[in-house]
Amino acid sequence: MASYDVIVIGSGPGGYVAAIRASQLGFKTAVVEKESLGGICLNWGCIPTKALIKSANVMDYLSHSKDYGVNVDGYAADFPAVIKRSRGVADKMSKGVQFLMKKNKIEVLMGMGKLKAKGQVAVTGADGKETVHEAKHIIIATGGRARQLPNLPIDGKQIIDYRGALALPEMPKSMIVVGSGAIGIEFAYFYNAMGTKVTVVEFMPRIVPVEDEDISKELEKIYKKKGINIMTNASVEKVEKSGNGVKASVKMQDGSMQTLEADVVLSAVGVVANIENIGLEALKITTEKGKIVVDPYCKTNVDGIYAIGDCTPGQALAHVASKEAVICVEAIAHKEGKFHHQPEPLDYGNVPGCTYCSPEIASVGMTEKQARDAGYELKVGKFPYSASGKASAAGANEGFVKVIFDAKYGEWLGTHMIGANVTEMIAETVLGRKLETTYQEVLDAIHPHPTMSEAVKEAVEVAYGEAIHL
């Protein structure tokens, strides 16, 4: 029986970060992984989807090359090559995590991890053999998987989830995307750019429903212009397989039914935590609504057992899991005298969200509705990219930046952006809010010209009636 200070179950952006930080702080550390180092994010999520989206961006450029004074004839998407590139990027990143494990002297235990008893983890290898390992601290980082609706059973061929969408052997001529969160919207963009006829079906009244209402409206307008069919207030009641395709019965808001035909249905209706069969019940670890309950330092109700990432109640985002990993390990180290201070708990109200469709979406803080519902009197500013010199020069003048401030104290309550490269720009708001910046300090900080990022400053000027370029 091998003995460690810390064992981490799962090696996604929560697990592998926890393992590295633990090793850096002097803990003897092991990580358990059943499939590929890097977890879903690196292998079947964030990273390979961004590779696909880059190929879609190239297709976009080629289709509009004449707008830039460049003639390109006879281009076509080689779909298997696009998928192959994406898989190559993911594999390279997974190998990078392998290197980091070696560099930080972290033991990698391949197999299914399960809590055996307090301070014990059983690992079942591919050969079915079980080994038991001891640790003073056990961190559960088992992540999540695609939620399955009972009327949309995933078969991997005609009804697929994100994993299937990342590795289709050939490009479908038509696709129905069920759900318009980040995953559904990103794949809708990618497949539409490749030449697939895409229909998005969303149960809520608007697409990207967690975003500010203005963002939803703008994206819907842009997507419709791209030829994507969008159905809101609609639900897929049943799917019948017919030959090589599917027939989906969609219930509309007025109760009427519509039949959609397509080659493939992509189910993108959210994420569910992986908390089954990992020994939670035997140790009486508290769960609620399918997630592991934790305190602000990621500790469960059982001493020595912690949980981070998608299997806990915070936002199911890679950067949340990574930050929780660091907070969790530093709190353990502080208690044991290996770290100089108690880490600050994560502020879940200042977590940025990014969607990598084209144009991109990025947001942090309150939406306008949330801020009004919370009783704030607001200063709201919106700067359209059609008024930005850099956006016009780049041929990327769709979208806008919207900022929300509290009128009383000038507090930065939220930012909502849609446009080219906005996922690279949201960090300014996150940092500004963390530093309790007011509108005046944003205006006093010089933003470079010409850039897409100066639209943040321009939007703040609009909010306070000081707009120069509008």
Residues classed as catalytic: 449
- Between the alpha carbon of residue 157 and those of residues 165, 306, 320, 321, the distances in Å are 10, 37, 32, 31
Q: Which pairs from 458-461 meet CB under 8 Å and 24+ separation?
A: 458/383, 458/387, 458/388, 458/401, 459/381, 459/382, 459/383, 459/400, 459/401, 459/402, 459/403, 459/415, 460/381, 460/403, 460/405, 461/381, 461/383
Other beta carbons within 10 Å of 345: 13
What DSSP character marks residue 299?
Answer: B
Q: Give the span between the Cα atoms of 15 and 115, in whole angstroms.
A: 16
Close Cβ partners of 58 (under 8 Å, ≥ 6 residues apart): none
Q: Give the span between the Cα atoms of 38 and 47, in whole angstroms.
A: 10
Helix extents (H) in 9-151: 15-24, 39-44, 46-63, 79-103
User: Quick one: how far is CA 62 from the chain centroid?
Assistant: 28
Q: Residue 170 is encoded by which pair of tokens? A: 């050939």
Close Cβ partners of 454 (under 8 Å, ≥ 6 residues apart): 388, 390, 447, 448
User: Quick one: how far is CA 15 from the chain centroid?
Assistant: 16
Nearest to 55 by CA among 18, 80, 23: 80
Question: 343 preceded by cis ω (within 30°)?
Answer: no
Q: How many C-alpha atoms does 259 have within 13 Å on its Cβ side?
A: 7
